């Protein structure tokens, strides 16, 4: 299937085709290769069709294949040095959308030089949304969005201050990540915002 057609099918919204699930399922092998190769240009900026179908209700082997692929792709990104394409935070988002949860992705984000370097990038990129208690995703179609945000904030507050090596993280990342553990009003009353290194 031509890549531009595959891209349209991968991000197709329900209701466009009578058999939306079939349209998503049929090209999945090629879609998986395209994702790993960084081909879909809208990754991180659009909801994948796979996140809008009940793929867990598919025959067990097919459902297990989807889940296995998502986990394997995420693990591969976490252990690949450099800047992945798509960006690591976009891969996190698309994997979370497909799974409908961030829990297994966080569980797989174990300490290590490469994974910790990616953590610094993600924590820095997503901090503006998290510090305002906003979802870092465009729209969450799974569980309660506020619960997902709180889970991600708590995990980042615990792991982001210490895990990335100092040479790989912005100088104030540890402070900004630690702020996520505070209640909203205390977070904004913190002296960090009034110091010389405070950001807008």
Helices (H), 12-142: 20-25, 28-36, 60-78, 88-99, 103-108, 113-131
- Given a cut of 70, is residue 39 above it in pLDDT? no
The predicted structure's pLDDT at residue 46: 60
Please state the domain extents for the chain: 59-193
Tokens of residue 89, six digits = 């935070």
Backbone angles phi, psi at 43, to 5 degrees: -55, 130
Residue 11: strand, helix, or coil: coil
CA distances 100 to 104, 120, 141, 193, Å, are: 10, 24, 7, 34
The predicted structure's pLDDT at residue 52: 80
Higher pLDDT, 16 or 154: 154
- Given a cut of 90, is residue 8 above it in pLDDT? no
Mean pLDDT of 164-176: 77
The residue behind tokens 């009034």 is: 194
What pTM was computed for the model?
Answer: 0.85
- Given a cut of 70, is residue 43 above it in pLDDT? no
């Amino acid at each position: 299937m031509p890549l531009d057609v595959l891209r349209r099918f991968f991000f197709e919204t329900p209701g466009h085709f009578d058999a939306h699930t079939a349209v998503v399922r049929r090209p999945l092998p090629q879609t998986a290769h395209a994702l790993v190769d960084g081909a879909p240009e809208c990754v991180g900026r659009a909801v994948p069709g796979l996140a809008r179908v009940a793929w867990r209700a598919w025959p067990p082997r097919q459902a297990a294949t989807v889940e296995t692929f998502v986990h394997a792709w995420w693990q591969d990104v976490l252990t690949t040095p450099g800047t992945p394409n798509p960006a690591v935070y976009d891969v996190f988002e698309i994997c979370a959308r497909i799974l409908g949860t961030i829990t297994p992705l966080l569980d797989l984000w174990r300490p290590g030089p490469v994974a910790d370097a990616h953590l610094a990038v993600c924590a820095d990129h997503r901090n503006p949304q998290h510090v305002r208690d906003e979802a870092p995703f465009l729209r969450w179609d799974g569980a309660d969005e506020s619960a997902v945000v709180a889970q991600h904030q708590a995990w980042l507050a615990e792991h982001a201050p210490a895990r990335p090596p100092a040479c790989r993280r912005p100088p104030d990342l540890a402070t900004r990540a630690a702020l996520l553990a505070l209640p909203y009003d205390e977070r904004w009353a913190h002296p960090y915002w009034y110091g010389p290194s405070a950001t807008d």
